[in-house]
Amino acid sequence: MQILVTGAAGFIGFHLTKKLCERGDTVTGVDNLNDYYDPQLKHARLEKLREYRQFEFVKQDIADRVAMEKLFSQHPAMHVVHLAAQAGVRYSLTNPYAYIDSNLVGFGNILENCRQTNVKNLVFASSSSVYGANQTYPFAENHTTDHPVALYGATKKANEMMAHSYAHLYHLPCTGLRFFTVYGPWGRPDMALFKFTENILAGKPIDVFNQGKMARDFTYIDDIIEGVIRAIDHPAKPNEAWDGVNPDSATSYAPYRIFNIGRGHSVELMTFIEIIEKELGMKAHKKMSALQAGDVPQTFADTKNLEDALGYKPKISVEEGVKRFLAWYRDYYSVS
């Protein structure tokens, strides 16, 4: 298949593109290689991807409407996987326009070009951040997502609504994937596991927010990628039983689906830190702090819909996932 992947030099985009190439798909990867975090890591990922003859890279900003029209015209694709976005909750507090430009304007460009070029299937990254102030656990796709606590989550909620309008108006199959705290080799340096590892090895303190009273549904990258690929291979279809009087927000009369992709197991932050300490053989110097603005105390995914519709349940334990990440980290940064 001919697949276009945005954010191909990013953490999830890199792993997805690699997997697609390995199974024989032809992939056009798009990324603007911004400096939100160390661009050298993005370039190192790209070097790995360039080893595949069926991969082609285009440096482009998805918020550039004219450039995106040209891209879709020159690189026609049956499937589009949209992963490019301005990520991070805390960064949105100080750089809101980065989210508006990339996550709203950029996603609008993706949708419209999918329509204009008759793309058969759009799979796009949403986030567990859409659940916002909801405190009914585990988070299920039909729970309310009307109270975002940060702009990042609000933009992802907006993406879901924008996609539904295109599914309704133009019958564009759209599948939104709510990712839960993704981690693993080649991960983002702004994420907790990466920062904890870096600081513990350097003998520096780690920030432990909300006095450690936090929990996350940590989801290993391989589990995320398997879910994405299953969504690519099973485009969204209308739910014939959908009822407008009692609407299911995870499905629609239009070809539209929303899925959580999480481990389905919430891990306490202090337990997570203990796992890292055990694998490193070092104790962390903890700096206890208050809950940060825009953050939530817990995430926890209900994965039943993913299991029922796509036949998959994430399975890598956090102990195994951390072990694999640390092995990569030591190798990549030449740490003994």
- 259 backbone dihedrals φ, ψ, rounded to 5°: -130, 140
Six-digit token string for 137: 């656990």
Alpha helices by DSSP H, listed for 58-95, are 65-74
Residues 6 or more apart whose CB falls under 8 angstroms from that of 279 comprise 322, 323, 326
Distance between CA atoms of 58 and 61, rounded to whole angstroms? Answer: 10
Sign of the torsion formed by the C-alpha atoms of 138, 135, 182 and 100: positive
91 is catalytic: no
Burial profile 201-219: b = 16 or more Cβ within 10 angstroms, e = fewer? beeeebebbbeeebbbbbb
Residues 6 or more apart whose CB falls under 8 angstroms from that of 270 comprise 208, 212
Residue 209 in contact with residue 287, Cβ under 8 Å? Answer: no
Closest CA to 298 of 271, 327, 321, 324: 271
Closest CA to 332 of 33, 41, 16, 10: 41
**Judging by beta carbons within 10 Å of its beta carbon (0-12, 13-18, 19+), is residue 333 exposed, middle or buried?**
exposed
Q: Which amino acid is at 191?
A: M
**Length of the chain, in residues:** 336
Pairing status of strand 121-127 against strand 79-82: parallel
Annotated catalytic residue: which of 99, 152, 220, 256?
152
Residue 7 in contact with residue 13, Cβ under 8 Å? Answer: yes
- Give the residue numbers marked as catalytic: 152
